[in-house]
Amino acid sequence: MPLDSAARAERAPWLRLVLTTGVGAGTALSLLRAYGLPEAIFAAGTGALARVAGTDVAARLTGTDATREGAIAAALDWAQGPDRHLISLADPRYPARLLEIGDPPPLLYVTGDPATLALPTLAVVGSRHATAAGQGNARAFAHSLADAGLAIASGLALGIDAAAHRGALEAAEGRTVAVLGTGIDSVYPAENRELARQVAARGALVSELPLGTAPQRWNFPRRNRLIAGLSMGVLVVEAATRSGSLITARLAGEFGREVFAIPGSIHSPVARGCHALIRQGAKLVESADDVLSELRILRARPAPAATAQASAAEAAGQSGSGIAAAVLATMGWDPARFDELAQRVGQEAGALNETLLELELSGVVERLADGRYQRRGS
């Protein structure tokens, strides 16, 4: 709904507060605690504000700033568009879970349905350089958890994040939230522009960053704290040992949220972060029901009859030959080179290559970047 003149007047002081150079979430909260609503902050005077925020910030708050005023006008104009919302801490639509973190953003930019932010939510995060198996797991878990009534939160990145959003969107009544590390008027990466549109139609895009904010490395940890803060728990699907997903998991633990991790092969670099989390006390999960049990959530809707991977495995079993069964039986769960498989199965290279191609197309086996083959989890 477009903003009327009263709504514009109410939101303008919030924008003036957060768009003042040097005022981060922590400073803004200190000022709000000291003076109340933003109108009272700007009425307090430079000397009084300096005792809370320091001389430089106080001068910026009370001084004139044409750039800031232009940004305020642009944000108010942006909010005139359909399904666009400026939600302040004083707004009843502000998500209650964010109030539990140490530095909730004073103002959120939201595209889509703000009511999504109040739903029971699970974050599903992981590597941007995910394996096909990892993306399949993220998609299947998100689909099943969304079918159980959870909204799925993630960061709209390539890899696990995008797979999680898509899995939630594939559920009949699935809802999903994408927290951005850019301004709400920008989609990063550009490849996910259509996915962002779908998320906004079935959930919400959220950012605390001003309009026009470009992707910068230091903005993504800020985004990760919001993903963790909006959620009841965080599920890490795949993560390297130095991964932004581990920041999300750490913050979730600090906020008192549950942390879940899916284990992987000991040979996979994107499984090591999950294994580290499990050693630190994260819940090891093998199915969506493991997550629901820990969160004490009963399924609102029946679970899907089968995951995409299970269906693919069944199809391979129906159409495959005895060689396919032998390859799977001897492959185990660790990556194996072609010549190792040929030796184990005792088949000619041509026949084995044909079988592996069949298993790849069925989604049962994945060929890794180094040329080895690995069985995908069900």
Please compute, for residue 159, the number of CA atoms within 13 A of its CA located in the half-sphere on the CB side: 21
Residue-wise pLDDT for 190-245, tens only, equals 999 999 999 999 999 999 999 999 999 889 999 999 999 999 999 999 999 888 99
Pairwise pLDDT comparison (344 vs 183), residue with the higher score: 183
Residue 373 has pLDDT above 50, yes or no: yes
Residue 306 has pLDDT above 50, yes or no: no
Q: Do the beta carbons of residue 30 and residue 53 sit within 8 Å? A: yes
Which residue ranges form the domains of the chain, and what is each CATH number?
A: 1-77 (1.10.150), 115-295 (3.40.50.450), 308-375 (1.10.10.10)
Mean pLDDT estimate for the chain: 89
Exposed/middle/buried for residue 253 (C-beta within 10 Å: 0-12, 13-18, 19+): middle
- pLDDT at position 30, please? 94
SS3 376: coil
Residue-wise pLDDT for 21-38, tens only, equals 999 999 999 999 999 999
Q: Between 349-361 and 322-331, two packed helices, what is the crossing angle to 10 degrees?
A: 80
Q: Do the beta carbons of residue 248 and residue 227 sit within 8 Å? A: yes
- pLDDT at position 317, please? 42
User: What does pTM read for this prediction?
Assistant: 0.81
